[in-house]
Amino acid sequence: MTVREIIDSFRSKIKERSIDTIYTNGQLFQFLKEQFEWIMAREASAGRVWTSTYMFQVIRGLEVIEVSKIDGTCPIKNCCKIYRTKDKLPPIWRDKSGTIIRLVTSIDGSTSFFVTSSWAYSNKKNDPYKKFSSEKYVFYQDGHLWFPEHNPNRINVDAFFEEDLSYINSKRNDCEGCFEKEDCVRYMDTDMRLPDWVLAESISKAAELLLGTAGRLQQDNNIDKNDTRRN
């Protein structure tokens, strides 16, 4: 489903189709996204999305640069050299272990990097048997991929990105996050790469919460009006 179709389904669910609706597309989508996040984390942690060929996308040729260890952004201190992607990656869905990254390789695919965490790598660095291993590591932190001691120069990343990469590659800076402007409508027509069952549950959960909140607010307003009349 596209973002537009998902929001339209949500509007139907909560019966918010009148011309004087109180919710913008952006507000409804943000409410939906809160449900996407925890439901996707649950499904990914249970192993129900890792084999998908549709939901995962690949960014090719990301540049990797050396970073000074005295730079305040460096996440680990006990390595000789460290490198990271020059630019931040687009947002990636998460499970209980962290960002959902399936594969990181050199640009020609000849070298694969084991995806770990900065904490796990720091512990592994102290392992006396590590020197006998030829495995190369990468971890995600602060929007970047970090490569301790090995610089691949350029990489490919296969991950479960939150947005359609075709939109990310073509969007203009002044249209980022835009829902209403006519010249920014492309985002609304991009695919939301989530499983059908996640979309269905997210829309239902979001509707329950939104309608429940609206009902409580209406009840509170009625109570306030009654108190005012009594006074």
pLDDT (0 to 100) of residue 32 = 95
Q: Answer yes or no: do 118 and 186 share one domain.
A: no
Q: What is the pLDDT along the chain (231 residues), one digit of tens a residue?
A: 899 999 999 999 988 765 567 888 899 999 999 999 999 999 999 988 888 888 899 999 999 999 876 666 677 766 667 899 999 999 999 988 889 999 999 999 999 999 998 888 877 776 666 665 678 999 999 999 999 888 999 999 999 999 888 776 655 444 555 555 544 546 788 888 899 999 999 999 999 998 886 544 344 444 444 454 444
Does residue 116 belong to any structural domain of this protein? yes
Q: Answer yes or no: do 91 and 125 share one domain.
A: yes
Q: Answer yes or no: do 24 and 105 share one domain.
A: no
pLDDT (0 to 100) of residue 211 = 86
Q: Answer yes or no: do 36 and 64 share one domain.
A: no
- State the residue range of the domain holding 40: 3-50+177-209
Does residue 76 belong to any structural domain of this protein? yes
Domain boundary among 159, 186, 220: 159
Number of structural domains (the chain) is 2
Q: Answer yes or no: do 8 and 69 share one domain.
A: no
Name the pTM for this structure: 0.77
Report d(CA 41, CA 38) in Å as an integer. 5
Q: Answer yes or no: do 35 and 12 share one domain.
A: yes
